[in-house]
Structure 1
């Protein structure tokens, strides 16, 4: 896959802007395009480490998975650049051509904070919080999805492969198919897909299913998510579903194409985490973290976005009861809770932050001593090297999600445990539970069960811990993020044998 030529020489070789960032041909066309809500870069100041030309590559699994491929294929990435009401031209950063989609302040309020994160997010996470249904939000969602699709149509060469990412852009596949039937279209849903009984609540359920069925391949984290999607296609559109294939019909009743739905569980950059975990400076930083906490016998760790789906409140309740029961003491144990800021303009998230911080204050006020703190609460984002130091410092990792598409933190923790020690307490409602079967699986709604599982992790014998960790590490090392992206794209290339009988 190579970018289509528009001049006698490749414009990429002639860019001369400083710091690795430059403008690109605004009409360039590409044979491979990734489309996501955000571009893989964040704004930064020139004095910050890793900042080139005012931009820095974003952290996160998707960027890690696709950036190397984008630099090799000379493809382009379509997405919002992060600043509302700002017009910027396509540019290149770190060897990737970037096509910004402009969003207004109103778009952010209605499309992103509204329909994406106050309608779809809670609905797709089993209605842990009540979704809101507003027609103005839906109108904005359609309008913004059209803007993303138009950007792809303008820049995609004939027969290009387009990979659309996540729940914010579920209408884009059909829009692309209608405008450019020559394209090969993939879609990956990074969050769960709800069962039809829950999805039925969405007033625009038919349009969402119809939008997704514009893709040749729709990928999900778990087989159960793919199954939910196919059942919804059958129930709400009357689609013909055979095995993992949905026969999509046009207005004339004839099959236009076959959309396949499969599970492609995402993973992490195993090499990066493994190398950091063996870095002497990071190993020493992990020791320093333990010293700063008074060298407790056991450090428990939670790392989450501050989101109501992550089960942070359930985790804190279980830990507080263990302290109250005397099963753990602040002299022997400490809980570090990293809660990254998230969607702070959305009311549900503001209320969650108040509740979590109030609970932490109550626990610490009740159980802290002058020398020891029960919960070290950190409402910050941290760089990956600091996260790996925390993984190395922690004896027990707590992943108590009420519903999670995958949860890459669980995989990062396991990968960092190069000595095959430590214990992972993992919610059965996280997608990672399908792969990490040697974790201590539990139901976070069962507080007594969660407490028992935490104590089992705290008291686990080294031989059992090593056996479990070795098995989990092998699974992740054999299924890294590169395999995820290559598996999806290879499946997208596969020819479908049409059977209309």
Structure 2
């Protein structure tokens, strides 16, 4: 039976050393909490369900005690620890993870440290995690890798386990390309390739998903279709899965007597004043100083609230050994003291400040008693505090003030959304929240509560894992179309048995790789020899069917005894070497369109205009990718409108926009050849959108092969031009 292997930086327990040995105490991290309800429910439904958790135990373990810790972790937590030295923790975790990735992904580039030593350690520790997963992996297991500390791991696992089911989820924001590009080239390429080792890559918000896909396109050159990235060996998918909370747990706690008693005690301590509540980990991304500045502005702009409200500010200690966090803690202490000193009285302290962790019941009590929650991160992957606050309001009252920079803002649109950099906006939102009537509070909160109840932490995990299963199913379906060695033997056998076989071959991307300029893709001697062997076998009729002009193809293949169809079907070279038109064509329109294409060449660096006898082509392969794609869309739109009354068509190929006479396409040309030659068997191979005309037009029993992507009308697919040559070589050998 398949198992779930969860891989994260930390295990669901913390290891603490004492005189008599080690103590394993449960952790209360966000991922542990989120997966806890899913795993518990899964095990209730299926007692045989098994989950193994791989991660770092949170502290150093002497070599001689590793075996004992590993045994206890397995027995008590079904966990498999990855042991790290203090130096590895310092360079991998405190270094690259939290001094490079964390600030960069949270849009704080001035805090980023680009230390090669950190990068080397990051690669090394990801390798240690890979080895640990391989120790426990069994065929059929599902591997779910989590978060920014392990961005390289999916790719490493894919290399070792080509057919494994691997998912990856990022719990922090993924930055826009303008930020991501600040990372050194080798690092960012490795990180994206590592993430693409997963079959499914998940993010909290649609924006993060799109930023990732954009970076994949800009850095690696892989485009996508509705989140599906077709790579040579398989299809990957990037999608959005906003993490939920255990809604019922917070709602039940809010109704409990214990929490009610704690809330009553706190209210007595603040003398029944209205509480504005805030809890966050100490971090520069959380906007804590902005929160204080906004509260200070509130007290200045709305003095009537002085003495009537208390700001209950709890900051959870974090990364206290990092200088940036130490400085922030000092600034925080000073700002709290300044506000309390400026506005406080003998009977009223504006801010009740706690620097400590809160247990679950105390946190629930603070949620329950506070009519306002103020959550102002400068950038946050999700922010579960906002969701927990709403889940702790059984009567539907309470007002959530939330930064629009938090991922949760995409789901919680009825909250008061503010810009955390605008202190006046925070102040006005506080006043609006404190004066909002209960009916409006309920009207805002009930829809958010229903969404949070419906898409809780268990639903989040189920959604991700079921989506991963669907991706694997889709890969299996597409793999049945992949021309495996066994299928190639069947295809070749059917062609050999035919008395007359027609072989139609696209050129660029099918027989040769793409070149930066069209004139640099001349055939190599090996290709000329291969085509010669095929064309000389009895019963074989080989045709190149390409978008290239007849002059170039005629020169490159002047000694080859193959047929050539040029410009997507405009002209055909006969056996005697003479060219003829497949239908009457005109070129009068070229003079009117040429200036438009030249204008785009002038405006877009790296683009070029190729003029053929019966078509014009604007190439943008050497352009900046995003600019080229955008300008191509603009050109298509402009030319389509301009040619509304002309007998021409506009087509987009791979990094090219081509304008040609209407009715000229590879499908029509192929049918003309088929009707003349009447072959018993047809093999057609192409890699471009223009080849789809060919695949659609041919008889249903034709052997059609799309190169590069499995999304096609073709019956089969191959990965690249090398695979095509290998297939043709196999056919030539069988025919000889």
Q: Scaled by the length of structure 2, what TM-score is found?
A: 0.61
1:456 aligns with 2:432: yes
Tell me the CA shift for residue 326 of structure 1.
4.0
Quote the residue 1:441 is aligned against. Answer: 417
Q: Is the contact between residue 298 and residue 426 of structure 2 (CA under 8 Å) also seen in structure 1?
A: no
Tell me the CA shift for residue 410 of structure 1.
0.3
Tell me the CA shift for residue 200 of structure 1.
0.2
| Correspondences of 1:50-449 after superposition (within 5 Å) | 54-70=23-39, 72=43, 73-86=49-62, 87=66, 88-92=69-73, 96-127=77-108, 129-203=110-184, 204-248=187-231, 255-296=232-273, 298-449=274-425
CA offsets per residue over residues 400-446 of structure 1, 9 Å max, x none? 11111110000000000111111000111111111111101111111
Unaligned runs of 5+ in 2: 44-48, 479-709, 713-736
Tell me the CA shift for residue 128 of structure 1.
6.3
Quote the residue 1:50 is aligned against. Answer: none
Tell me the CA shift for residue 309 of structure 1.
0.8
Distance 2:110 2:344 in 1: 32
Q: Secondary structure at the match of 2:439?
A: helix
CA offsets per residue over residues 77-123 of structure 1, 9 Å max, x none? 00000112543324347864110101111111111111001100010
**Higher RCO (C-alpha under 8 Å, 6+ residues apart):** 1
Distance 2:347 2:74 in 1: 48
Q: Is the contact between residue 301 and residue 427 of structure 2 (CA under 8 Å) also seen in structure 1?
A: no
Q: Is the contact between residue 37 and residue 246 of structure 2 (CA under 8 Å) also seen in structure 1?
A: no
Q: Is the contact between residue 299 and residue 333 of structure 1 (CA under 8 Å) also seen in structure 2?
A: yes
Tell me the CA shift for residue 329 of structure 1.
3.9
Unaligned runs of 5+ in 1: 3-30, 47-52, 249-254
Tell me the CA shift for residue 330 of structure 1.
3.9
Q: Is the contact between residue 37 and residue 458 of structure 2 (CA under 8 Å) also seen in structure 1?
A: no
Quote the residue 2:13 is aligned against. Answer: 41
Distance 1:266 1:327 in 2: 39
Quote the residue 1:32 is aligned against. Answer: 4
Tell me the CA shift for residue 61 of structure 1.
2.8
Q: Secondary structure at the match of 1:240?
A: coil
Distance 2:98 2:315 in 1: 18
Q: Is the contact between residue 70 and residue 76 of structure 1 (CA under 8 Å) also seen in structure 2?
A: no
Distance 2:440 2:283 in 1: 32
Q: Is the contact between residue 166 and residue 199 of structure 2 (CA under 8 Å) also seen in structure 1?
A: yes
Tell me the CA shift for residue 258 of structure 1.
1.4
Q: Is the contact between residue 96 and residue 119 of structure 2 (CA under 8 Å) also seen in structure 1?
A: yes
Q: Secondary structure at the match of 2:224?
A: strand
Q: Is the contact between residue 84 and residue 108 of structure 1 (CA under 8 Å) also seen in structure 2?
A: no
Q: Secondary structure at the match of 2:346?
A: coil
Q: Scaled by the length of structure 1, what TM-score is found?
A: 0.89
Tell me the CA shift for residue 346 of structure 1.
1.3
Distance 1:457 1:68 in 2: 33
Quote the residue 1:468 is aligned against. Answer: 444
Q: Which has the larger radius of gyration?
A: 2
Point out the structure with the larger helix share.
Answer: 2
Q: How many residues align?
A: 460
CA offsets per residue over residues 26-72 of structure 1, 9 Å max, x none? xxxxx3200000000124699xxxxxx93232113311232355462
Distance 2:103 2:260 in 1: 39
Q: Which moved more, 1:450-459 or 1:189-198?
A: 450-459
Q: Is the contact between residue 67 and residue 96 of structure 1 (CA under 8 Å) also seen in structure 2?
A: no
Tell me the CA shift for residue 247 of structure 1.
2.1
